[in-house]
Amino acid sequence: MLCYHSLLVLCFGNIYIKWKHKKHYTKHVKNRLENASNGFVQIEIGDERIRVIDDASDSSVKLSEVKSVDEIRDIYFLKLSPGQVLVIPKTIPELNKEIETIIQKFNIKHVQDLGWKW
């Protein structure tokens, strides 16, 4: 009996783990974003700062604080020095060009994984 269980785990263990991780993380994201507001956020990229304006706040980050940019098919993840991440969707072509310019100008580490999916 133990041999059959081991065989099942060897054959289907990775499939089960991938399914379980996807289910866990999608549930986590759904729970975290359930109470988030759907308001608009304005992003302004200047020569030295990125300014983010939303319903509740107006904040800015120095471009020198951007440590790396991870890019997937639809989103840029700007990792900041204190450990925060600024998530920018690739919906506006002008903004995409500005981010590419920032990457080159400030020599920021850029990781592309355009084939990433769940």
Question: Model confidence over 43-88: pLDDT tens digits?
Answer: 888 888 989 888 888 988 888 899 999 999 888 999 988 788 888 8
Domain enclosing residue 65, as ranges: 42-113
Query: Is 77:64 a contact under the CB 8 Å cutoff?
Result: no
Question: Model confidence over 2-49: pLDDT tens digits?
Answer: 577 777 777 888 888 888 888 998 888 888 777 766 677 888 888 889
The pTM for the full model equals 0.65
Q: Where is pLDDT greater, at 9 or 109?
A: 109
pLDDT at 37: 64
**Would 58 be classed as within a structural domain?**
yes
| Residue 104 sits in the same domain as residue 87 | yes
**Would 108 be classed as within a structural domain?**
yes
Residue 81 burial (CB count, 10 A) = 11
**Would 104 be classed as within a structural domain?**
yes
Tokens read off for 81: 């020095």
| Residues in a beta bridge with 72 | 113
pLDDT at 95: 87
What's the rounded Cα separation, in Å, for the pair 41 and 4? 55
**Would 118 be classed as within a structural domain?**
no
| Residue 14 sits in the same domain as residue 66 | no
**Would 90 be classed as within a structural domain?**
yes
